[in-house]
Structures are given as structure tokens and as C-alpha cells.
Chain A
Amino acid sequence: MWPDPEVEALVTRRLIPARVHVKDDAAQYAKASESFGVSWTPTVLLIEPQGVERHRIEGFLPTEEFLPQLLLGLGQIGFHAKRYDEAAAEFDAIVRKYPRTEAAPEAQYWAGVARYKGSGDAKELGAITKAFEERYQDTVWAKKASVWKRA
């Protein structure tokens, strides 16, 4: 996951990186795992600047899946900060650059939700459902989007 040039570039450019090792940083690990409710390694949290967790990655992922998961976290941080245009762009980029990953259908869902939240236009919700009719039909995200079929 970590020793990869793309992951390193993303983390170095956009994130403050912190690591606690279960043995080497035992006291820090105990305190932080209690604070954030972490019970397994590896667990990676994306935390907004004000300290609220916005995305959690539990278990190992290969780089091609891990990188878009980090981007999902950044998208969620923008979304919860109500920077909807920025969040939609972040999620769209995941679908465009990593279309075959597990993160892509989740990103497609949240891109549409961000557009809806930014515009207030209910047509954006129908557009999400339509997008899932074209791809990622067999995912839980398509099921979540199916509620807006008539929007």
C-alpha cells in the first residue's frame, strides 16, 4: 500500500501523515485506537482538519485499490465541509481514473449526491440512478441509488 510513488505523492502533497505501530508506538497506539475505536490492523483513517473521522479503510488493499480509497476519503472531507463542487470533482476523478476498483461505484454515488447538495436540483438524484443503469449495476451503491428512479 504505502511504498508506492503515487501513494507517497498524494500523501505528501495533500495530507498530514501519522502512523502508530502496535508495538513500536504502544502507548500512542493504545490511546489513538481507544479514541477512534480501532480494533484491527491495518486500519487507515482519513480525518478532517477539525479531527472528525470521515473515511475508514480496514484490512490490507493493493495499491490500485488503496489509492482511490484515499481519494474517497478526501472527497468525503470536502463533502462534509460543504465544498460540494470540489467533492464532486474528487469523486468524478475516481470513477474516471480508477473505473474498475471497488471505490468507483461508491464515488459515482457520492459525486451525484454532491452535485445534488450543491445545486438543490432533484434532477441530480435521478441522474445518479441513470448512471447506475449504465454501469456498476450489481453493486450496493446501485441499490442505494434506485430509490431516486423517478426523481
Chain B
Amino acid sequence: MPITWKHDVEAALAEARQSDKALVLDFTAAPM
């Protein structure tokens, strides 16, 4: 299943906190 990336870091951090799941945060310059 392809990964659905979130691009709002604050919202992702809030979701991680709320769901008690870890966050993976990818800083990239690769062509999308």
C-alpha cells in the first residue's frame, strides 16, 4: 500500500500524540 504522506508537520505531530503512534518525518529534496 503506497504511503500517504502528510505535509503539515504540526498536524502530523498532533496525530502521532493523539494516536500514540511514532512519527516518521522525511526531509527530502528528491523530485516528486
Contacts and interface: CB of A to CB of B under 8 A. Distances in A.
Interface of A: 2-3, 8-9, 11-12, 14-25, 28-29, 31-33, 35-36, 38, 41-51, 54, 70, 73-74, 77
A19 B28 contact: yes
B28 to A, nearest CB: 5
Nearest to A43: B27
24 contacts: A8-B3, A9-B1, A12-B3, A17-B24, A18-B9, A18-B12, A18-B25, A19-B25, A20-B9, A20-B28, A21-B30, A22-B29, A23-B29, A28-B7, A32-B27, A33-B27, A42-B27, A47-B16, A47-B23, A49-B19, A49-B21, A50-B17, A73-B22, A77-B22
Given A9-B1, A19-B5, A20-B9, A14 B27 contact: no
Interface size class of B (residues with CB under 8 A): 20 to 34
B7 to A, nearest CB: 5
B9 A28 contact: yes
Nearest to B6: A18
A20 B7 contact: yes
Nearest to A33: B27
Nearest to A60: B30
Contact of A18 (B19, B26, B32): B26
Contacts of A14: 21-22
A49 B3 contact: no
Nearest to B30: A42
Given A41-B27, A70-B24, 10 more contacts: A16-B15, A16-B16, A18-B9, A18-B25, A20-B9, A20-B27, A42-B27, A46-B24, A49-B17, A49-B20
